[in-house]
Amino acid sequence: MRPHVARLDTNAMPWTPGDMTGLFSKILSHDPKTGARTALQRIDPNFGYKAPSAAHFHHMDEEIFVLKGRFTFDGEVWLTAHSYCFHPSETVHGFKSALAEESWFLSRVSQELDFNFVEKPRETTKPYSLKDAPGPRGVSVVPDPQKANWQDVQNKAGKVVMQRLVLSQHPQTGEGSMLVRFLPGWESPYGNHFHSVYEEAFVLDGALEAADGTVYGAGCYSFKPPRTVQSRLQSERGALCYINVGGLLDFVPAAKL
Ligand SMILES: [Fe+2]
């Protein structure tokens, strides 16, 4: 499991040159045992970045959430700010990759990233699996979450205080990714509590305030391993967050630890 990352302000972190020309990274969390990691990545044609010229696959799940820019894996669907995609391990993709402008995205991989080109991919631009029996969490591409079907979440008084959009989810374990919009004035009904599964969050817009005084503004990142105690959260002016969870989210009062 990755170590606890209480709060990182990614705006204040420097870019580190990656292993490809024109690729820069900010490593946000990393599991030294498995190589699983989340990084903020910047690919920049002005610094010589060239999109991969052929289809490829990885031996690990790859998940991308775009913060800004414009690029494509298939020459048809262009990914822009807040676009999302999930490629399970051994999914061939990137048939017609192209980069229109400097782009930033959050990249999550479930193990150390490898890169395998496919010399003769199938005659398609749609991702396909090399596995005989692909896992239950399939490819997900959400180019424009704004247009998707968000779910309203009400408080006890029946007022809508939050909206949620699941981007990709394992149908059995609940592990997955979502966008959560906390409406202005939202207050968590839970005091000091923890979850039985990991919770990773990146604030895209607005801010969340914790009862212990921590403020998570736009660009702030956290990774909470299972059973990490957190204090009550609220959002005075609202917030939009990209959240990844290790399974269905439970809320256990911290007193039970
Ligand atoms: Fe890839």
CA dihedral of 44, 48, 49, 51, whole degrees rounded to 10: 130
> How many CA within 13 A on the CB side of residue 225?
8
pLDDT of residue 257: 61
The answer on 131 and 170 residing in a single domain is: no
- Strands 23-30 and 37-43, by their bridges, are antiparallel
187, part of any domain: yes
Q: How confident is the model at residue 152 (pLDDT cuts 50, 70, 90)?
A: very high
* Same domain? 73 vs 117: yes
Q: Is 182 exposed, middle or buried (0-12, 13-18, 19+ CB in 10 A)?
A: buried
Q: What is the pLDDT of residue 255?
A: 82
- Report how many domains make up the chain: 2
Measured between alpha carbons, how far is 184 from 161 in angstroms, rounded to an integer? Answer: 8
Neighbours of 171 (CB within 10 A): 11
Same domain, 97 and 25: yes
pLDDT higher than 70, residue 241: yes
Same-domain status, 73 and 165: no
User: Does residue 23 lie within any of the structural domains?
Assistant: yes
Mean pLDDT on 148-176: 97
27, 5 Cβ separation under 8 angstroms? no
Going from the Cα of 91 to the center of ligand 1, the distance in angstroms, rounded, reads: 9
Could you tell me if 224 and 126 lie in one domain?
A: no
- Domain presence at residue 8: no
How far, in Å, from the CA of 256 to the mean position of ligand 1? Answer: 42
Report how far apart, in Å, the C-alpha atoms of 141 and of each of 62, 64, 78, 257 are: 12, 9, 11, 38
The backbone region for 94, taken as left when phi is positive above 0, alpha when psi lies in -120 to 50, beta otherwise, is left
Average pLDDT over residues 156-174: 97
Residue 107 falls inside a structural domain: yes
**Are both 98 and 208 inside the same structural domain?**
no
pLDDT digits (tens, 9 = 90+) for 89-141: 999 999 999 999 999 999 999 999 999 999 899 999 999 999 999 999 999 99
Interval between CA 8 and ligand 1 midpoint (Å): 26
- Is the residue at 95 inside a domain? yes
CATH of the domain at 166: 2.60.120.10
Task: Spell out the residues 6+ positions from residue 230 whose beta carbon is closer than 8 angstroms to its own.
Answer: 192, 193, 194, 210, 224
Distance 2 CA to ligand 1 centre (A): 22
Rounded to whole angstroms, how far apart are CA atoms 83 and 70? 10
Q: Is residue 207 part of a domain?
A: yes
Q: Which residue among 110, 145, 180 closes a domain?
A: 145
Inside any domain, residue 4: no
Structure tokens at 212: 């212990």
Strand-pair category, 160-169 with 176-182: antiparallel
End residue of a domain, out of 145, 164, 188? 145
User: Could you tell me the distance, in angstroms and rounded to a whole number, from the CA of residue 127 to the centre of ligand 1?
Assistant: 11
Last residue of a domain, one of 145, 177, 201: 145
Considering the domain architecture, whether residues 113 and 191 belong to the same structural domain is answered as no
- If you search the block for the tokens 């031996």, which residue do you land on? 59
> How deeply is 52 buried, as exposed, middle or buried, from its count of CB atoms within 10 A (0-12, 13-18, 19+)?
middle
pLDDT tens figures, 19-30: 899 999 999 999
Q: Which residues pair with 87 in a beta bridge?
A: 62
Do 137 and 223 have their domain in common?
no
Q: Average pLDDT over the chain, rounded to whole?
A: 96
The model's pTM: 0.96
Judged by phi (left if over 0) then psi (alpha if -120 to 50, else beta), residue 162 lies in beta
Both 240 and 159 in a single domain? yes
Distance 212 CA to ligand 1 centre (A): 39
Amino acid at 227: R
Are 131 and 190 found together in one domain?
no
Together in a domain, 119 and 69: yes
Q: Are residues 123 and 80 part of one domain?
A: yes
Structural domain containing residue 74: 13-145
